Amino acid sequence: MNAPPLAQYINAQGYAFAWGHILERRCDNHIDWDFCLEALLERYHQQDLLLNDLQQATFLVLEATLPGMVGYERETSAAYRQGWHLYQGTVISAFTLRCHFSREAEARHWLSTIFLPLLFPGLLYQVQEAIQ
């Protein structure tokens, strides 16, 4: 059965920020956090670039910054060594963090204390500089 175009939003939660939003979705045994970088995507559009270009630039920075946490094919989340992986984005996001449900508390702690305040600003800066 084909899912409707907005199926990814069914039962999803969102967190708004000045740079865009994080869409949180639960599916089977994992949680996905889709990072939708609206402000940066708008700058990419002004340069005649698309979401795919933003995804590629973001993924290059993630590979360089967090090489052990980057996944290339979405594998079973139970296999993640630290409980979560970063993936190239979906049809709505620049990148996705996928977490096994058993590691949710740890992943949320990492997101709120390490990734968002310490690593994410540099990521945004580097991806923005790629189009200057």
Nearest CA-CA partner of 61 in 126, 132, 129: 126
Question: Beta-carbon neighbour count of residue 106 at 10 Å?
Answer: 14
Tell me the mean pLDDT per 10 residues along the chain, length 132. 62 87 89 95 95 96 92 65 84 93 93 96 94 80
What pLDDT, on the 0 to 100 scale, is given for residue 130? 86
What pLDDT, on the 0 to 100 scale, is given for residue 109? 96
Q: How far is CA 98 from the centre of its chain?
A: 8
The DSSP bridge partners found for residue 117 are none
Q: Calculate the dihedral angle through the C-alpha atoms of 116, 117, 123, 128, rounding to the nearest 10 degrees.
A: 100
Token pair 């889709």 is at which residue? 34
What pLDDT, on the 0 to 100 scale, is given for residue 30? 87
Single pTM value for the model: 0.87
Q: What is the DSSP letter of 70?
A: B
Separation in Å, CA 128 to CA 5, 39, 74, 75: 29, 10, 26, 29
What residue segments make up the domains of the chain, in order of their start?
10-129
